[in-house]
Amino acid sequence: MLERLKDAPAGVDAVKAAGTVSKTDYERVIGPLVSGARSEGRRIRLLYEFGPEFRSFSPGAGWEDLKIGMSSLRLFEGCAVVSDIGWIRESTRLTSFLMPCPVRVFGNQERDEALRWLSSLPEGPGISHRLLPETQVLVAEVEQPLRAQDFEALALTVDSWLEVHDELAGVVVHARAFPGWENVGSLLRHVRFVRDHHRKVRRVALAADSKLAGLVPHLANHFVQAEVRRFGYDELDGAVAWSAAPPDQHPTDMG
């Protein structure tokens, strides 16, 4: 069964799985939760708890989970999975890179920490991102001044991918104009993100129209191992294709 919990702080939705979770459970609990958030114009911060009494999902529940998830991914602002069950923890880590929001796994004894983490997530992140598994390219949409939490979310997605893959083909930063950083801490977190990941990313594309964007590839090539190239804001598809190209394909082959 699946039940909605009432002890979560304001702004956080919490559900708990016990026994066998069925398609009916998803229709009864998750369906109304998603519909309510959509009608209220709010995003979802979800705590999904699997206690020791949880056993399995029915085949119908798995399909319903996928169906609801695919139709409402953009509603989610963060998801915390609380469980000590090995296969739940591992499968969450392996699939979290598919989510456009940060996903973290906590143990049963860390439930309060999971709630605090969800409550601390920034509203309306400066970066929204999605990982395209078929191209192995991460696309980051930048609209507001960058915050440290944005890079935490990016790191969670990239690190989850790198746990089961040797590298990421590319990263595409899509921004009409670069909005800068919220504060010095955000800038430092950005630097740390680049330091920790640039050796495992083949190419970085900047799809932007600002004058500053033209300087970035020249500067970045002195500091990062990944190949960097600039595209226009409206050339997102070309930027993704270039970033996904095999390492032996020369950039000029992309047209």
Residue 21 to residue 250: CA distance in whole angstroms: 50
Lowest mean pLDDT among 118-132, 141-155, 210-224: 210-224
**CA neighbours within 13 Å on the CB side: how many for 19?**
6
Residue ranges covered by each domain of the chain: 2-120, 127-254
Q: Where are the alpha helices (DSSP H) in 166-209?
A: 184-197
pLDDT over threshold 60, residue 220: no
* Short-list 95, 99, 97, 118, CA closest to 49: 118
Q: How far is CA 186 from CA 143, 149, 177, 182, 198, in A?
A: 15, 8, 18, 6, 18
Q: State the CB neighbour count (10 A cutoff) for residue 191.
A: 12
**87 CA to centre of own chain:** 21
Q: How does DSSP assign 230-253, residue by residue?
A: EE-TT-HHHHHHHHHS-TTS-GGG
Contacts of 246 (CB under 8 A, 6+ apart): none
Cβ-in-10-Å burial (0-12, 13-18, 19+) of 242 comes to buried
Note whether 132 and 29 are within 8 A (CB): no
Residue 135 to residue 222: CA distance in whole angstroms: 26
Strands 2-5 and 13-21: antiparallel
Can 2-120 and 127-254 be said to share one CATH topology?
yes
Domain 127-254: which topology? Answer: Transcription Regulator spoIIAA (3.30.750)
CATH second-level architecture of 2-120? 2-Layer Sandwich (3.30)
Span 222-243, average pLDDT: 85
pLDDT over threshold 60, residue 251: no
Residue 36 to residue 7: CA distance in whole angstroms: 18
Q: Compare 119 and 67 and report the one with higher pLDDT.
A: 119
pLDDT digits (tens, 9 = 90+) for 23-71: 888 889 988 898 888 777 678 899 999 988 998 888 776 655 655 555 5
